[in-house]
């Protein structure tokens, strides 16, 4: 018998830590497409959506079902679809037995409607936020945001997409038939224990929380999709707690990136690889040939994290995600227009304030989240530049509520095309300085903070998060926000 030294044990672990599922996924279940959420107009003309956060069971594996949470169902939630200019309203019922919240990731809206850690919904209670959609067509999402519990609640299955349309997106001849050639894809990793239950334990030496060895798309394990059109738009959401994906097709064919977090790019960008960190979205269009089979995969990340960080945090993994099976003849009625969205112009604004953020360990600027500390106030109507750096080499990203930002430069250089559009979450490659410009155009509320944080949910829960308020002229930061659960939050 060989007795390993601890160094030897670490080396063995390190070698086994790389996961490769290519060729090992059965692709024997048709991809589930989340239903579009129903709505009814209220007396004011707002469209009201009822969302019920509940627990249930989902059959992922043969044998025992898995205990899961979902919205209006057992796992994940319906896709909400709304138009710019429209008033939306929600009745969110908490039917699980602990507090939770629902946050609208990527949405520009008043802080009191944001569903962050201060908008707690107690068990049995209903929360009813409403706001007017006022931003370009985009692929957003919703998920719980209770401080310290976000990773757990998302991992159990509470998440869904929120698709926005506008006049510009209506006019484009992009693939846009939901579930046919316009496919939402919520990509999440999961680990199952011996009883078929979700296991959220972090691997040895991981600093990012759970890295699952099974990939679910819209809650389907081992999915395939029957394709009937030449062009297919995939709305990719990295809905994983910690895992970074580097998407690409199995034959390395190029695809077109048409949109990022905040909306459509001015022009499509052709690539064959695309990194998405937790919380980020991308809209891509893939061109298919009749009668073929091709897989979407995640390839090893193309940059490193320090030390053992890449290997033990999933960045060396290779994963099969979904198989596309195309029909013998493909409809061909859509196209990728030469111009789509608008180029962000925040970099030409006067900058009222420059702030710096260093992400290290699970701190931002050496601090951990404190529900009772508002870190700063920004002035309504101004543009700021936030300089954000990941200084410790672990994987981190950076997400800001309320705004979509423009990446002005990365270490002084213009961002690559996939980081040139509007974003609300950006992967932070270690030791590079990302300069983000954002405008706080309205919704001042000195008493209700918005969050900024790392979107690796384990890091966020450990306190890698801070709070800011939008202040009107001459206003100062208001009272410490109340964190009581309950019905309506003023």
Query: Other CB atoms closer than 10 Å to residue 414's CB: what's the count?
Result: 12
Per-residue mark of binding to Cu ion, 53-82 (x: CB under 5 A):
------------------------------
Sole window of 54-62, 128-136, 346-354, 447-455 interacting with ligand C2O (rule: CB under 6 A)? 447-455
**Quick one: which of 275, 396, 435, 453 contacts ligand C2O (CB under 6 A)?**
453
| Residue 453 interacting partner from ligand C2O, Cu ion, none (CB closer than 5 to 8 Å by kind) | ligand C2O
Q: Which of residues 136-175 bind ligand C2O (CB under 6 A)?
A: 143, 145
Question: Under DSSP, is residue 420 helix (H, G, I), strand (E, B) or coil?
Answer: coil
For residue 190, the cross-strand partners are 214
Query: Other CB atoms closer than 10 Å to residue 189's CB: what's the count?
Result: 24
Rounded to whole angstroms, the Cα distance separating 267 from 342 reads 9
Question: Is 105 or 311 the residue whose CB approaches ligand C2O more closely?
Answer: 105
Q: Within 13 A of 201's CA, how many CA atoms are on the CB side?
A: 7
Sole window of 265-273, 333-341, 345-353, 451-459 interacting with ligand C2O (rule: CB under 6 A)? 451-459
Question: Is 237 or 437 the residue whose CB approaches ligand C2O more closely?
Answer: 237
Task: Kindly give the pairing relationship between strand 231-238 and strand 182-190.
Answer: parallel
Residue among 378, 400, 387 at smallest CA distance from 356: 387
User: Does residue 105 interact with Cu ion by CB under 5 A?
Assistant: yes
460: enclosing H helix or E strand = helix 457-462
Sole window of 354-362, 368-376, 377-385, 449-457 interacting with ligand C2O (rule: CB under 6 A)? 449-457
What is the distance, to the nearest Å, from the Cα of residue 376 to the centroid of all Cα atoms in its chain?
A: 25
Q: Which of residues 265-324 bind ligand C2O (CB under 6 A)?
A: 279
Helix extents (H) in 157-263: 167-171
| Residue 396 interacting partner from Cu ion, ligand C2O, none (CB closer than 5 to 8 Å by kind) | Cu ion
Task: Kindly give the pairing relationship between strand 66-71 and strand 80-83.
Answer: unpaired
Query: Other CB atoms closer than 10 Å to residue 251's CB: what's the count?
Result: 10
User: Does residue 147 interact with Cu ion by CB under 5 A?
Assistant: no
**Quick one: which of 47, 103, 108, 459 contacts ligand C2O (CB under 6 A)?**
103
Rounded to whole angstroms, the Cα distance separating 294 from 3 reads 45
Question: Is 105 or 256 the residue whose CB approaches Cu ion more closely?
Answer: 105
Rounded to whole angstroms, the Cα distance separating 407 from 212 reads 31
Residue, CB closest to ligand C2O: 105
Rounded to whole angstroms, the Cα distance separating 188 from 66 reads 15
| Residue 145 interacting partner from Cu ion, ligand C2O, none (CB closer than 5 to 8 Å by kind) | ligand C2O
Task: Report the nearest approach of ligand C2O to the CB of residue 28 (Å).
Answer: 32
Rounded to whole angstroms, the Cα distance separating 150 from 463 reads 11
Query: Other CB atoms closer than 10 Å to residue 30's CB: what's the count?
Result: 12
Rounded to whole angstroms, the Cα distance separating 236 from 163 reads 12
Q: Within 13 A of 82's CA, how many CA atoms are on the CB side?
A: 30
| Residue 279 interacting partner from Cu ion, ligand C2O, none (CB closer than 5 to 8 Å by kind) | ligand C2O
Sole window of 1-9, 101-109, 286-294, 413-421 interacting with Cu ion (rule: CB under 5 A)? 101-109
Sole window of 47-55, 82-90, 103-111, 411-419 interacting with Cu ion (rule: CB under 5 A)? 103-111
Task: Show the tokens assigned to 455.
Answer: 């979107």
Question: Is 233 or 455 the residue whose CB approaches Cu ion more closely?
Answer: 455
Task: Report the nearest approach of Cu ion to the CB of residue 141 (Å).
Answer: 9
Task: Show the tokens assigned to 441.
Answer: 């155009």
User: Does residue 401 interact with ligand C2O by CB under 6 A?
Assistant: yes
User: Does residue 459 interact with Cu ion by CB under 5 A?
Assistant: yes
Task: Report the nearest approach of ligand C2O to the CB of residue 409 (Å).
Answer: 24
User: Does residue 115 interact with ligand C2O by CB under 6 A?
Assistant: no
**Quick one: which of 47, 105, 230, 489 contacts ligand C2O (CB under 6 A)?**
105
Question: Is 105 or 439 the residue whose CB approaches ligand C2O more closely?
Answer: 105
For residue 410, the cross-strand partners are 413, 434
Task: Report the nearest approach of ligand C2O to the CB of residue 241 (Å).
Answer: 11
In 6-46, the DSSP E strands lie at 29-30, 40-41
User: Does residue 235 interact with Cu ion by CB under 5 A?
Assistant: no
User: Does residue 454 interact with Cu ion by CB under 5 A?
Assistant: yes
Question: Is 158 or 234 the residue whose CB approaches ligand C2O more closely?
Answer: 158
Q: Across the beta sheet with 425-428, what order do the strands follow?
A: 376-379, 465-471, 450-453, 396-400, 425-428
Rounded to whole angstroms, the Cα distance separating 225 from 443 reads 42
Sole window of 104-112, 254-262, 403-411, 436-444 interacting with Cu ion (rule: CB under 5 A)? 104-112
User: Does residue 396 interact with ligand C2O by CB under 6 A?
Assistant: no
Q: Which residues of this protein are in contact with ligand C2O, per CB under 6 A? A: 103, 105, 143, 145, 279, 399, 401, 451, 453, 455
Q: Which residues of this protein are in contact with Cu ion, per CB under 5 A? A: 105, 396, 401, 454, 456, 459
């Amino acid at each position: 018998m060989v007795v390993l030294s601890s160094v030897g044990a670490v080396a063995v672990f390190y070698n086994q830590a790389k996961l490769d599922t290519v060729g090992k996924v059965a692709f024997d279940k048709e991809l589930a497409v989340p239903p579009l959420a129903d709505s009814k107009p209220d007396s004011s003309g707002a469209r009201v959506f009822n969302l019920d956060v509940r627990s249930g069971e989902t059959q992922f594996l043969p044998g025992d079902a898995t205990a899961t949470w979902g919205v209006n169902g057992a796992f994940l939630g319906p896709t909400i679809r709304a138009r710019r200019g429209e008033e939306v309203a929600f009745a969110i019922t908490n039917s699980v037995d602990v507090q939770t919240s629902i946050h609208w990731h990527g949405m520009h809206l008043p802080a009191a409607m944001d569903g962050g850690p201060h908008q707690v919904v107690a068990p049995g209670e209903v929360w009813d936020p409403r706001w007017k959609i006022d931003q370009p067509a985009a692929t957003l999402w919703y998920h719980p945001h209770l401080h310290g519990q976000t990773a757990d609640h998302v991992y159990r299955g509470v998440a869904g997409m929120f698709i926005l349309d506008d006049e510009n997106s209506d006019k484009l001849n992009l693939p846009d038939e939901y579930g046919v050639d316009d496919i939402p894809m919520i990509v999440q990793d999961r680990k199952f224990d011996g009883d078929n239950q979700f296991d959220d334990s972090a691997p040895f030496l991981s600093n990012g929380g759970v890295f699952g060895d099974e990939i679910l798309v819209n809650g389907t394990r081992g999915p395939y999709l029957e394709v009937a059109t030449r062009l297919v738009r995939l709305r990719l959401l990295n809905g994983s707690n910690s895992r970074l994906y580097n998407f690409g097709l199995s034959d390395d064919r190029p695809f077109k990136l048409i949109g990022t977090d905040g909306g459509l790019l001015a022009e499509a960008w052709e690539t064959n690889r695309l990194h998405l960190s937790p919380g980020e979205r991308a809209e891509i269009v893939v061109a298919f040939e009749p009668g073929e089979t091709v897989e979407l995969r995640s390839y090893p990340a193309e940059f490193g994290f320090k030390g053992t960080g890449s290997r033990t945090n999933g960045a060396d993994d290779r994963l099969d995600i979904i198989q596309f099976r195309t029909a013998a003849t493909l409809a061909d009625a859509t196209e990728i227009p030469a111009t789509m969205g608008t180029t962000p112009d925040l970099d030409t604004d006067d900058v009222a304030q420059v702030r710096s953020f260093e992400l290290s360990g699970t701190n931002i600027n050496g601090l951990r989240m404190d529900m009772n500390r508002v870190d700063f106030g920004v002035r309504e109507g101004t543009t700021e530049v936030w300089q954000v750096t990941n200084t410790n080499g672990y994987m981190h990203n950076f997400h800001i509520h309320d705004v979509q930002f423009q990446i002005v430069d990365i270490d002084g250089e213009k961002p690559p095309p996939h980081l040139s559009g509007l974003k609300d979450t950006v992967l932070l490659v270690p030791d590079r300085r990302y300069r983000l410009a954002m405008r706080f155009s309205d919704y001042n509320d000195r008493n209700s903070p918005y969050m900024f944080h790392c979107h690796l949910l384990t890091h966020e829960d450990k306190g890698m998060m801070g709070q800011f308020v939008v202040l009107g002229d001459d206003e100062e930061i208001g009272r410490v926000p109340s964190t009581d659960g309950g019905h309506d939050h003023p």
